[in-house]
Amino acid sequence: MTEEVPAGNAFDLATAVHRGRDGWAAAIDPGWGIGDRPNGGYLLALVARAALQAVEHPHPLAVSAHFLSPPAPGPVELAVARLRAGRSLSAARVTLAQHGQARLEALVTAGRLDPDAGPAWAAPGGPPELAPVEACLPGRPDGLEGVRVGLFDHVDVRVDPGTAGWARGRPSGRLEMRGWVRFHDGRPPDPLALLQAADALPPASFGLGLDGWAPTVELTVLVRDLPAPGWLACAVRGRLWRGGWFDEEAEVWDARGRLVAQARQLAGARPRRA
């Protein structure tokens, strides 16, 4: 495939990849994380973009990554190995390394999403019930306790009041988060953007009063449809917090009310020391 040429919007520039000496290379943008730690969905989009350069299909269908250690802002190397080249699916493995150390390992399965295909079967239910965008809590880059959330400079996040009690010192006691997501600069969503959106809301652990950093251990995103322009409705739920680790299951619905992405991850959260 041809080398990636980024468009002028912030997301495509921040996830751009280019030919390096021994494969592909990129630069971790310092503005797409929490403090000095890049957001997991942002990293997933970056490695998926690199994988798509090595396969014949245009859309990431399943992306699964293990986060070995957080990379710092700055240059990274992306070793991409093509694992499968089939008629309907292609697959690649991507190792993101920095200073000679592997920081993330990902498997990417790619295919071609059909914009005209409707669901042959779907479970009962639909998009999450969310308050209107203007009634939701906007994500603020100044963050909590002086930790800057640069991600919110680029991703417009609005948290539903029903899951925003933690911001007022009254957490719900549940692993749950709901809200609206879009890019501030108006970039329409696409399959790569869905990888970011699936990990854009504040961690569900905030609902338990655990408002510190929640490092991702493993994150898998399934892209189910080509999203329509407009706000994305996101719902995140977890089932268990034990031993300092919790799970999240996420759904992303587009402006047509279609399920366009699903995600599951394991992350860490520990109470702050008194």
Give me 161's structure tokens: 């009041």
Statement: residue 2 has pLDDT above 80: no
What is the C-alpha separation between 159 and 236, in angstroms, rounded?
A: 11
Q: Is 144 left (phi over 0), alpha (psi -120 to 50) or beta?
A: beta
Statement: residue 36 has pLDDT above 60: yes
Please tell me if the domain spanning 10-111 has the same topology as the one spanning 135-268: yes
* Arithmetic mean of pLDDT, 198-225: 96
Q: What is the pLDDT of residue 274?
A: 52
Q: How would you classify the pairing of strands 137-138 and 59-67?
A: unpaired
What is the C-alpha separation between 94 and 96, in angstroms, rounded?
A: 6
Count how many residues are written for the chain: 274
Statement: residue 5 has pLDDT above 70: no
* Arithmetic mean of pLDDT, 89-103: 97
- Domain at 135-268, CATH homologous superfamily: Acyl-CoA thioesterase, double hotdog domain (2.40.160.210)
Q: What residue type is assigned to position 38 of the chain?
A: P
Q: What is the pLDDT of residue 21?
A: 79
| Domain regions of the chain by residue span | 10-111, 135-268
Highest CATH level, class, for 10-111: mainly beta
Quote the pTM value.
0.95
* Arithmetic mean of pLDDT, 262-273: 90
pLDDT grade for 269, boundaries at 50, 70 and 90: very high
Phi and psi at residue 135, to the nearest 5°: -95, 0
